[in-house]
Amino acid sequence: MPHELEALGLISLAPTKRNVCVCVCVCVCSTRLVSCSLTVRNQEDQRPTRASHELRTDFPICEESSTPTLEEVSAWAQSFDTLMLTPAGRNAFREFLRTEFSEENMLFWMACEELKKEANKSIIEEKAKIIYEDYISILSPKEVSLDSRVREGINRNMGQPSQHIFDDAQLQIYTLMHRDSYPRFMNSAIYKDLLQSLSEKSAEA
């Protein structure tokens, strides 16, 4: 487990001198599947393509962040909001969600955060469509769990989406992660091993 935490950029196992800050970041970019060049031409022509800016809805396996301190990791136990405010906290929590096969909840939440930063109407429309296809559509393997009221509201507004079209859905998923996944994360080996590793490093310093 310590080696797994090191791979996530959460800890460093390399020996360090006192007062030297060690920042470890392993960021492996995820990519969408690209059609093979041998695919029949008419099939390629029928596949919709996405502009380069749309790829921002794909997220690396981990966000870029420095190694968290013992105080920061201990503070994650105080509240879910505190955990979600830091890239290191989101990375650790996302790794836990991956073990529970519910990483799509975090990915959807992150995609909504990115959408709210957009001001260009055409980009908002394109990104909203991608988010819908990836996380709202019942045909998607990454569909998130939403109640009918929220889902119907999204469907009504997809004709002219704003950057806040998924706000209710995002809050519902945030609440789900808070109530359901967060308590289990606090009792997980991922969190406890990280806390122990940082405690041992602090004692050695």
| Residue 18 placed within a domain | no
* pLDDT of 105 strictly over 90: yes
| Residue 112 placed within a domain | yes
| Residue 120 placed within a domain | yes
* pLDDT of 192 strictly over 90: yes
Distance, CA of 106 to CA of 167 (rounded, Å): 14
- Report the pLDDT value the prediction gives residue 65, as an integer from 0 to 100: 76
Going by pLDDT thresholds of 50, 70 and 90, the confidence category of residue 64 is confident
23-54 tens-digit pLDDT: 333 333 333 333 333 333 344 344 444 443 44
List strand residue ranges (DSSP E) for the chain, in order: none
Q: Between 80 and 27, whose confidence is greater?
A: 80
* pLDDT of 21 strictly over 60: no
Q: What is the number of domains present in the chain?
A: 1
Q: Between 56 and 189, whose confidence is greater?
A: 189
Please tell me whether the overall predicted TM-score, pTM, comes out greater than 0.85 for this model: no
Question: Is the distance from CB of 125 to CB of 107 less than 8 angstroms?
Answer: no
| Residue 49 placed within a domain | no
- Report the pLDDT value the prediction gives residue 5, as an integer from 0 to 100: 61
| Residue 52 placed within a domain | no
Three-state secondary structure call for residue 125:
helix
Going by pLDDT thresholds of 50, 70 and 90, the confidence category of residue 116 is very high
Q: What does each C-alpha distance from 107 to 3, 95, 111 come to in angstroms?
A: 24, 12, 6
Query: Which segment of 4-13, 164-173, 193-202 scores lowest on mean pLDDT?
Result: 4-13
Q: Which of these, 29, 32, 56, 178, lies nearest to 117 by C-alpha position?
A: 56
- Report the pLDDT value the prediction gives residue 22, as an integer from 0 to 100: 34
CATH number, domain of 193, equals: 1.10.167.10
CB atoms within 10 A of CB 107: 22
| Residue 50 placed within a domain | no
Going by pLDDT thresholds of 50, 70 and 90, the confidence category of residue 162 is very high
Query: Which segment of 7-11, 76-80, 140-144 scores lowest on mean pLDDT?
Result: 7-11
Amino acid at 24: V
Mean of the per-residue pLDDT values for the chain?
81
| Residue 75 placed within a domain | yes
Q: Which of these, 55, 50, 130, 65, lies nearest to 95 by C-alpha position?
A: 65
State which residues form the domain around 83: 2-12+23-30+59-204
Distance, CA of 121 to CA of 127 (rounded, Å): 10
| Residue 130 placed within a domain | yes
